[in-house]
Structure 1
Amino acid sequence: MDLVRIEPWQEGDLDLLRRINTPEMKRYVGGPESEEKLLARHRRYVDFAGTGQGCMFRVVALPEGAAVGSIGYWERVWHGETVYEMGWSILPAYQGRGLASAALRVAVAQARARRTHRYAHAFPSVDNAASNAVCRKAGFTLLGETEFEFPPGELMRSHDWQRDLTAGPE
């Protein structure tokens, strides 16, 4: 049985983004954003699918159908190559159920289907054990530690996880 489905981010998902924007949820990525930045992020998420550069999704837990988080992929240049970067958030009440790794596998399949870039990367903080475990469970390979800029203007110690999108499903 599928644990999740992912659906393109919509106008009505602003409340979900606000529920993700908490000190607990944002502790590894610089803390919560201001309302102004949150509204700008929401607008980018809604408009993103039409750009051809990636997509943001809400994560829906099955069978209950509750929106429980976000996941997405977007283009970035990494070590001179254009790749997809992937990121996700699952609300605390739904963590520990395998939803993030299930959503990541679905998002990887969507990115793979685009046939645009060979690799997807994720850059969780070295201190974020749960997100690093999600990468491992979703078939990513740990390349090592790196300095990664997030939020913009701040460097954090991250793990660089890579997934070959030309390889078949795990």
Structure 2
Amino acid sequence: MRDGVRIEPWSEDDLTLLRRMNAPELMDHLGGPETEDQVLVRHERYVGMSAGTDGTGTMFRVVATGTGEAVGTVGYWESSREGELIYESGWGVLKGHQGRGIATAAVRAVLERAGQERKHRFLHAFPSVDNPPSNAVCRKSGFSLLGDCDFEYPPGRSMRCNDWRVELTF
């Protein structure tokens, strides 16, 4: 638990949360909402990651400790950046819960978890250059801005992102 937030591994029961996270206002910087089929595929991937069946990272639901309500998602997964194997991270917080430091607390909790694995030296995040709140989460969570870059997400769609990196402490 950190700053009124705890992260819990993603489970089969989190499909409703993922559907809520697929709202247009939350997916605006990520190419727009996904189809129901895409959401179902994502959910199964998250369940597999969190069950440890693929060994490439973990997804979490973000829970407000005061209410026990799931208010967002956060996670980390293996990715390759310029030939180096790294962790990449992403997050989101439901509209009614934004602006309260929830994302920053959740990202800090993920940094602790990823660091405990002692697997990769760095964790990166690639928020859109047009997404000030997510860039602020990176800054507040101790990431260093390496610069901007082209990033493909979703597959087939190029977007301009900031490349933020934090060294995981072992």
Global fold match (TM > 0.5): yes
Aligned to 2:21: 20
Q: After superposition, what is the alpha-carbon deviation per residue over 1:78-98, rounded to whole angstroms, capped at 9, x for unaligned?
A: 011000000001001000000
Q: Render the CA deviation track for 1:83-142: whole Å, top value 9, x for unaligned.
A: 000000100100000000000000000000000000000000000000000000000000
Give unmatched runs, 5+ long, in structure 1.
none
Question: Tell me, what secondary structure is at the counterpart of 2:39?
Answer: helix
Segments ≥4 residues shifted beyond 4 Å: none
Question: Which residue pairs with 2:9 in the alignment?
Answer: 8
Which structure 2 residues correspond to residues 42-61 of structure 1 after superposition, within 5 A?
Answer: 42-49=43-50, 50=52, 51-61=54-64
Query: Which residue matches 1:102?
Result: 105
**CA-based RMSD:** 1.0
Q: Which amino acid aligns with 1:75?
A: E
Partner of 1:118: 121
What code does the residue aligned with 1:152 have?
Answer: P
Supply the AA of the counterpart residue of 1:27: D
Q: List per-residue Cα deviations over 1:129-160 (Å, max 9, x = no partner).
A: 00000000000000010000101111100000
Aligned counterpart in structure 2 of residue 162 of structure 1, from 127, 151, 165? 165
Quote the Cα distance in structure 2 between the aligned partners of 1:150 and 1:143. Answer: 19
Aligned equivalent of 1:86: 89
What is the CA-CA distance between 1:22 and the residue it aligns to? 1.0
TM-score (norm 2): 0.96
Name the amino acid aligned to 1:164.
E
- What is the percent sequence identity of the aligned residues? 57
Q: Give the match's secondary structure for 1:28.
A: helix
* 1:146 aligns to 2:158 (yes or no): no
TM-score normalized by the length of structure 1 = 0.96
Name the residue aligned to 1:127: 130
